[in-house]
């Protein structure tokens, strides 16, 4: 089974690119982030025509998450327990479904904006709540196959950014954010892609500005963190950098794992 995650940066603008890649890459399950559309505007039909079921959660033109699966789509869940809200408003940042026996989460972690912004505190609170839930899921079933996939908006190590000095004082690389990410790893959710695609210089995101992509000035902020039962099935993983090329790409590349 092939499971992938991709921040598509507007599914309506890129549905043809996404479905074309699904077919070419023979992907069974795709978690999507930043779909940027409300549920009534989600372009589900192109996925259905390819044989996928689709679950999506979008409230407006911001954020948004979705999961497309051709191996089943069961027990769909919007958000996790005690998921924080931003300024008392719910956001479409987390969606889960069981696909072929794997509990797949599509996660769009808050950006944080700046270290002195209330959004930064919200990001840390959001990650702490996710960690608490992840710990509980494994405590309830240590053999559960769980994949926490998505855009984490965190570069866990210095080698995950093209120039750490450039990001001095910025979000995504702060000690608190990295500690929040590590806390989920410590809860037995391993980065299952890095062993197959080690850095430095291996990124998942390149800003549209300043020719960041051809200059290879990127960030590694998209991850698949797997529970022990999921991680032991991973036989191959890759960051599909080629999908950042071409006409009107997302600013992120897909991240893919193949399960034995």
| Region 243-251 average pLDDT | 96
7 labeled part of a ligand binding site: yes
CA gap 247, 60 in Å, rounded: 26
Percent of the chain with pLDDT over 70: 100
| Region 56-78 average pLDDT | 97
Q: Residue 260, Cα to own-chain centre: how many angstroms?
A: 21
Element (H, E) at 25: helix 11-25
Q: Enter the CATH code of domain 2-259.
A: 3.60.10.10
For residue 129, what are the contacts with CB-CB under 8 A and spacing of at least 6? Answer: 80, 81, 82, 83, 84
CA gap 217, 206 in Å, rounded: 7
Is the CB of residue 138 less than 8 Å from the CB of residue 144?
Answer: yes
pLDDT-based confidence at residue 248 (cuts at 50, 70, 90):
very high
3-class SS of residue 12: helix
- How many residues does the structure list for the chain? 260
Q: List phi, psi (to 5°) of 207.
A: -55, 145
CA gap 23, 41 in Å, rounded: 23
Query: Using one digit for the tens of pLDDT, what is the confidence trace for 214-233?
Result: 999 999 999 999 999 999 99
Residue 89 clears pLDDT 90, i.e. is over it: no
Q: Which residue has the tokens 């992840």?
A: 134
Helix, strand and coil percent figures for the chain, each rounded to 5: 30, 25, 45
Domain residue ranges in the chain: 2-259
Burial 34-47 (b: 16+ CB within 10 A, else e): bbbbbeeebbbebb
For residue 24, what are the contacts with CB-CB under 8 A and spacing of at least 6? Answer: none
252 labeled part of a ligand binding site: yes
Percent of the chain with pLDDT over 90: 97
Residue 90: its pLDDT value, please?
Answer: 86
Q: Which residue has the tokens 């407006």?
A: 60
Catalytic center residues: 108, 151, 252
CA gap 186, 215 in Å, rounded: 34
Residue 63: its pLDDT value, please?
Answer: 97
pLDDT mean across residues, the chain: 97
Query: Using one digit for the tens of pLDDT, what is the confidence trace for 140-159?
Result: 999 999 999 999 999 999 99
Q: Which residue has the tokens 């696909």?
A: 99
Query: Using one digit for the tens of pLDDT, what is the confidence trace for 159-215?
Result: 999 999 999 999 999 999 999 999 999 999 999 999 999 999 999 999 999 999 999
251 labeled part of a ligand binding site: yes
Is the CB of residue 212 less than 8 Å from the CB of residue 206?
Answer: yes
Is the CB of residue 104 less than 8 Å from the CB of residue 96?
Answer: yes
CA gap 24, 228 in Å, rounded: 29
34 labeled part of a ligand binding site: yes
Residue 88 clears pLDDT 90, i.e. is over it: no
């Amino acid at each position: 089974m092939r499971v992938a995650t991709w921040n598509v940066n507007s599914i309506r603008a890129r549905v043809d690119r996404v479905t074309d890649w699904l077919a070419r890459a023979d992907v069974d399950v795709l978690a999507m982030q930043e779909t940027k559309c409300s549920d009534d505007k989600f372009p589900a039909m192109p996925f259905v025509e390819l044989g996928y079921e689709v679950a999506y959660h979008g409230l407006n033109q911001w954020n948004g998450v979705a999961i497309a699966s051709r191996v089943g789509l069961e027990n769909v869940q919007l958000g996790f327990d005690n998921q924080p809200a931003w300024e008392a408003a719910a956001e479409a940042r987390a969606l889960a479904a069981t696909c072929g026996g794997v509990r797949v989460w599509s996660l769009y972690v808050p950006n944080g904006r700046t270290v002195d912004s209330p959004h930064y505190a919200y990001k840390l609170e959001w990650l702490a709540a996710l960690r608490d839930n992840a710990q509980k899921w494994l405590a309830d079933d240590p053999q559960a196959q769980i994949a926490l996939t998505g855009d984490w908006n965190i570069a866990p190590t210095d080698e995950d950014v093209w120039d750490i000095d450039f990001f001095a004082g910025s979000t995504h690389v702060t000690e608190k954010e990295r500690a929040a990410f590590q806390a989920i790893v410590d809860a037995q959710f391993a980065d299952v892609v890095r062993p197959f695609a080690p850095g430095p210089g291996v990124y998942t995101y390149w800003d549209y500005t300043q020719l960041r992509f051809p200059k290879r000035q990127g960030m590694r902020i998209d991850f698949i963190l797997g529970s022990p039962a999921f991680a032991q099935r991973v036989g191959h993983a890759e960051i599909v950098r080629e999908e950042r090329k071409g006409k009107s790409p997302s600013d992120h590349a897909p991240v893919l794992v193949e399960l034995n």
